[in-house]
Amino acid sequence: MSTRFEAKTGPAARDGAPALAVKLAELTALPQDAVLGVAVLVFGWLAMYGPTYWGLAHTVWATDEQGHGPIILALSAWLLYRKREALAALAVRPQRMLGIGLFALAWVCYVFGRAQFIWILEVGSQILMLGALLLYFRGAAALRMAWFPLFFMIFMVPLPGDLVAAVTAPLKSAVSAVASSVLYDLGYPIGRSGVIITVGQYQLLVADACAGLNSMFTLEALGLLYMNLMSYQSVARNVALAIMIIPISFVANVTRVMILVLVTYYFGDEAGQGFVHGFAGMVLFLVALVLILSVDKVIGRFVREP
């Protein structure tokens, strides 16, 4: 019995562990001796922020306004994954004290945010935590290399409710006014009272998700991701496109509201609030993407890459 036990758990297990380490090393582009440390860090990360993600999935991320959160998280992880080979190739010059200081700040933000149910601190602390880990294990060069994935994670941090309410109200009024004016000029029987649009016998309330700060925030993230993937070196081109994303977001929101009004007018209230309502959200991003590509093309004619 003992011989059979040795045959199963001895050499086979010892041979299997290095093989698994080799596979993980190939996947992460890290040395084999670093794979175990990465695994421990990932486990600790999930133990710390797993409850946060669970809470977000059942509260904030379940709403139309903040539903982009999981997408931003996945894209940030993918952007960091794309940097894995470059990060592994960097000379290791760890800055322990700075890393520990930033880690302490991240921990305080996390504990206070979780204890007081302040999402902006609890969720935002993971950006500081990642920065601290990079400083501690790899150094300032690694932090500079990973700056955009960390910055991009800002777009998954839930915005304070008071700020959203203060900015969303005038945005919704402006979007409602422009959408109703365009449709009125096109000959549709339409009226507006604040953010309530009347078309025919139907009334539509322009919701926060349709024309609020969060949708503009999401579209800004889309534009910045596009610029990062294009890897433009011209500062002027990047700044110009980033600024133009704001009016592009406004136009995309107006287009979405107009589509919902027209669908309701021609097919009834149920159609406007059903599948087409969700489909209009996809149209929002398609319109924004087309406009970003078009504006980028125009800017490219005036601003040349160095």
The per-residue pLDDT for range 158-198, each reduced to its tens digit, is: 888 777 777 777 888 888 899 999 999 999 999 998 888 89
Lowest mean pLDDT among 32-46, 117-131, 133-147: 32-46
In this model, does residue 280 exceed pLDDT 70?
no
Assess whether 124 and 167 both reside in one domain: no
Assess whether 295 and 183 both reside in one domain: yes
CB–CB of 127/81 below 8 Å?
A: no
Assess whether 124 and 168 both reside in one domain: no
Assess whether 38 and 115 both reside in one domain: yes
Q: Is 256 a catalytic residue?
A: yes
Lowest mean pLDDT among 98-102, 167-171, 254-258: 167-171
In this model, does residue 256 exceed pLDDT 50?
yes
Give pLDDT, residue 267.
81
The whole-angstrom separation of Cα 119 and Cα 116 is 9
Q: Mark which of 127, 142, 158 sits at the end of a domain.
A: 158
Assess whether 141 and 169 both reside in one domain: no
Q: Mark which of 103, 133, 158 sits at the end of a domain.
A: 158
Assess whether 188 and 66 both reside in one domain: no
pLDDT tens digits along 217-229: 888 888 889 888 8
Give pLDDT, residue 300.
87
Assess whether 7 and 153 both reside in one domain: yes
Give pLDDT, residue 109.
96
| Given the residues 109, 114, 138, 210, the one annotated as active site | 210
**SS3 label, residue 204:** strand
Give pLDDT, residue 163.
77
Assess whether 13 and 144 both reside in one domain: yes
pTM value?
0.76
Assess whether 21 and 62 both reside in one domain: yes
In this model, does residue 9 exceed pLDDT 80?
no
Q: Mark which of 110, 136, 158 sits at the end of a domain.
A: 158
Note down the domain range covering 118: 2-158
Assess whether 176 and 200 both reside in one domain: yes
Assess whether 145 and 235 both reside in one domain: no
Give the mean pLDDT of 194-218. Answer: 77
The whole-angstrom separation of Cα 99 and Cα 273 is 50
pLDDT tens digits along 38-49: 777 888 888 999
Give pLDDT, residue 10.
44
Domain count, the chain: 2
Assess whether 125 and 240 both reside in one domain: no
Most confident of the following: 25-34, 223-232, 282-291: 223-232
Angstrom CA distances, 210 to 64, 177, 206, 282, stand at 9, 14, 6, 11
Query: Residue 281 contacts by C-beta under 8 Å, 6 or more apart in sequence?
Result: 64, 209, 256
| Given the residues 114, 192, 237, 256, the one annotated as active site | 256
In this model, does residue 55 exceed pLDDT 70?
yes
